[in-house]
Every structure is written in C-alpha cells, then in structure tokens.
Amino acid sequence: MSDHLKFYIDGAWVDPVAPRTLDVINPATEQSVARISLGGAEDVDRAVMAARRAFDSFARTTRQERIELLEAVLAEYERRREDMAKAITAEMGAPSTLSRNAQAFMGTAHLSTAIEVLKNYEFEEARGSTLISREPIGVCAFITPWNWPSNQIGCKVAPALATGCTMVLKPSEVAPLSGIIWSEIMDAAGVPAGVYNMVNGDGPGVGAALSSHPEVDMVSFTGSTRAGIEVAKNAAPTIKRVHQELGGKSANIVLPDADIAKAVTAGVDHIMNNSGQSCNAPTRMLVPRDRMDEVKTAARAAAEAITVGDPQGDARMGPVVSEAQWNKIQGLISKGIDEGATLVTGGAGRPDGLDVGYYVRPTIFADVDPDMTIAREEIFGPVLSIIPYDTVEDAVRIANDTVYGLAAYVQSGDIDNARKIARQLRAGQVAINGPAPDLMAPFGGFKQSGNGREWGDHAFAEFLEVKATLGHTTA
C-alpha cells in the first residue's frame, strides 16, 4: 500500500491543513491499495488563490507558448502512460487491456487534439469596426468521476491550458491515483506554478467548497445528475459558469432492416465494456416486437461469451468500482425481476467462482416495459434492458421518453433511413451503425444529461468569454 497524502498547490506538493485520510480500495480484491488525504475548505482556498495569482500572466501567454507547454505535457504523459493504466486498473477495476488501450489512451488523445485545435483556433475576428475576441474565462474548478478518470481529467485540463485558463482539480476520491499521476505529469512538464492545482477530497468537503468559491469563474463537473444539481446550487450565488456532463439512459434503436444478430451482439458488447460504467452506454435496446425471440437468443449468446474476472488477467470484464455501486446494481437487478421483466441471462449475485471482488453477472432483461424502473433509472452496471416496439414511430417516442439525453444509437441496413431516425432523437450525440470514436465530435447532453460540450474545438468555447470592442477599427 502506498501513501499519497499531499496536495499539489502552487507548483509544490503540500500537506493538508487538517490531516484526514481515506483508503483507496481495489475493487477486484476489496483491499486497500493506497491512502490519500481528504481536503477541506482551507485547502481549496489555498489552491484557488494560487490559481487566481497565476491567471493574469498565464492568460497573456502566446498561442505558441501554450502549444509548447501542451507538447511538454503530452510527452510526459506518454512517458507515464503505462503507470496511468496500472493505476486505473488498481483503483477502479478496468481490465488491463482496456486501461492501456482506452482508459489511459484518452489522456493522450485529448492532449493531442487540443494541440491541433489550438494551432488554428480563431480567438479574434473583425466584424466591421468591431473586434470580437474570445478570452480565457479565468480560474476553473474541475470535479471529475471515477469511471473514466484520465479521460475526464484530460478533456477538461487540455482545453483549459490551451485557452489560457488556470485550474483546480478534484479527482474522485474513489479513484484518485490517476489524478495524482496527472499532477506529477503537470509538474514534470514544467506547467507554471499555480496554473494547475490538485486537492483530493469528497463532494461535501472539497467539491462544495470549489463550486461555491467566489474566486472560481467556472466549474466543470462530470458525474451523476443528483450531484450535478448540488454543484449548480452551490455555484448559483456567485453566478459562475457551470458546465456539466451528467447521467444517461441511452436508447439503441435496432430498426427492422438491421442485421439483428450483428446489431444485438455489438450492443451487448458495448454496454458490458467498462462493466457498464459509462454514462453514454446503450442501456436501452429497442427492438421490433416480432423479432424478440431472435433478439433474446443473440443477446444471451453475446452476454454469456463475456468472461468476468481478475482485471490483471485476460478477462474481458472486471469488477464494478465499489461495494456501494455493487449494492445499487444488485438492488436494480432485483427490481427488474420483481417488476416482471424476463431475465434472459445473468441476475443477482457474483458470477460463479468469484467470491471476492465487486463482480456483477453480465445481465440481460427482455420484454421490458418502458415504465419499469430498469428502463428509467441509470443503473451504471452491466445490465441491458431490451424493450419491444411495434412501429418505428413508437421506437422514437420510447427513445425520447426519458429525462436524459446524452447519447443515442441507431442500427439500420439503410443509411438514409438511419439518418432520418437520428434527426428525431433528442440526444447530444447519435451514433449510426457503430462508427469509430471521433475526438473532434462534441460530447455532451440534452435535458438532465447536462449542458455545454467537451472534446475538440467545441470544448474551447466552454473556457472562453466573448468580448466585443466597438470602434476597434476606424475608417
């Protein structure tokens, strides 16, 4: 077990004001792998004020200076990428291959994308005699989750650095080791003192202090809708900008002209990736009612082909992140059975042979009514609800009948038909027939899935204020 009891503030590793520790639990072993300190309002104030002092000079850096800084961060990140992957596996249970090729890779991806966007980003434009300029918003507070930890840090830190902002990061206290490595990377890369700061802690102790701090100009939060509401409430008295990427209950519409076996298998594999702990996971699969038997057969085969076990080994699916998460998922699986959904495979309890670790059976429910709890609540685990529909219009209505709107998916043998359906879906990102990820595509949601966008050039706008200077150009 290792100790990481200091915070990174003003370019140095410092002790917390009041010592208080928390064990970091490996979800595969249920044993502590590290200890961190939990900060409080005084630690937050130290970090925020360091960021405030650093802002004026960093905001005046040139485009080239920030490109060179990001390149130094990227080089150091690449040097530590294997360390990042190992930390993510230990702290939240992602299988080693997933940690290396997806989880840790996303830090590289966001830094590289920010560099490319920054090279040509238009910070100023003339409209007649008026100059429209986009200036860094100021001190930013980042509150990030445990499910894709390096990804969510990277998609905030990279554009903030690129646009000239300073920042304070609070990683999830459940999975803080990746945030500590990010801080070591920023230090080694030579990020100026105060530009980047990190305070570990929980929501009540650090998250609330950050989101309410009067010297924070913008808070970017990724997490549950419930927690996002609290962040917005805390931020309201100081009228700071609030960017949020929240929950999801994404619909995956399998149209009648799709290859059913292929579409269902891909949909099952997608949701089981990362043990179902992705906010954009396609957790509601909508299928033609008269194809339900065929769908059940394909879904059962796909789920039962997924190996569950030690994330350090060859298993495709590791544990979920914590005992609390495991208990929540078990309760919702029981709710699905109690409310009359057909349990196709999986179910309550750990998979056979796994008596230690927060492992969940890959679970498929079919014949799910849209009003059932498992069709409406975000489960955040490897649980798929298959919902029948009678007409395509009915499918679109069911897909949109949710408080969430983060992502949606369409499977079809006719691209024009798929495009028609995609235009009708109320979601921030719609994927047709399983495309590759697009790092320049804006990521964010409609409705209670949040506001604002991350990734690519759209992310820059979140960190910029727009200024109009009239009379800037004279005839």
Cα-to-chain-centroid distance, residue 26: 20
Answer for the pair 365, 374: CB distance below 8 angstroms, yes or no.
yes
393 given a catalytic annotation: no
Q: Half-sphere exposure (CA, 13 Å, Cβ side) for 317?
A: 30
Q: Which residue out of 91, 173, 245, 378 is catalytically annotated?
A: 245
Answer for the pair 245, 142: CB distance below 8 angstroms, yes or no.
no
Question: For residue 352, what are the contacts with CB-CB under 8 A and spacing of at least 6?
Answer: none
| Phi (first) and psi of residue 431, to 5 degrees | -115, 130
Cα(222)–Cα(244) distance, integer angstroms:
6
Q: Which residue bears the tokens 């369409």?
A: 410
Tokens of 30: 């249920």
SS3 content of the chain, % helix, strand, coil (to 5): 45, 20, 35
**DSSP label at 434?**
S
Answer for the pair 254, 286: CB distance below 8 angstroms, yes or no.
yes
Q: Which residue out of 279, 378, 454, 462 is catalytically annotated?
A: 279
Tokens of 315: 């298993």
Answer for the pair 463, 140: CB distance below 8 angstroms, yes or no.
yes
279 given a catalytic annotation: yes
Residue 423 neighbours by CB distance under 10 Å:
8
Beta bridge partners of 317: 308
Structure-derived torsion over alpha carbons of residues 374, 378, 379, 384, reported in degrees to the nearest 10: 60
Cα(207)–Cα(70) distance, integer angstroms:
26
Answer for the pair 10, 45: CB distance below 8 angstroms, yes or no.
no
Answer for the pair 194, 50: CB distance below 8 angstroms, yes or no.
yes
Residue 127 neighbours by CB distance under 10 Å:
10
Answer left, alpha or beta for residue 452, where phi above 0 means left and psi between -120 and 50 means alpha: left
- Strand order, beta sheet including 284-288: 342-345, 363-366, 383-389, 284-288, 251-254, 407-411, 429-432
Cα(150)–Cα(172) distance, integer angstroms:
11
Q: Do the strands 464-469 and 363-366 form a parallel or antiparallel pair, or are they unpaired?
A: unpaired
Cα(46)–Cα(53) distance, integer angstroms:
11
**How big is the CA angle at 398 (ends 396 and 403), to the nearest 5 degrees?**
110
Beta bridge partners of 145: none
Catalytic residues, which ones?
245, 279
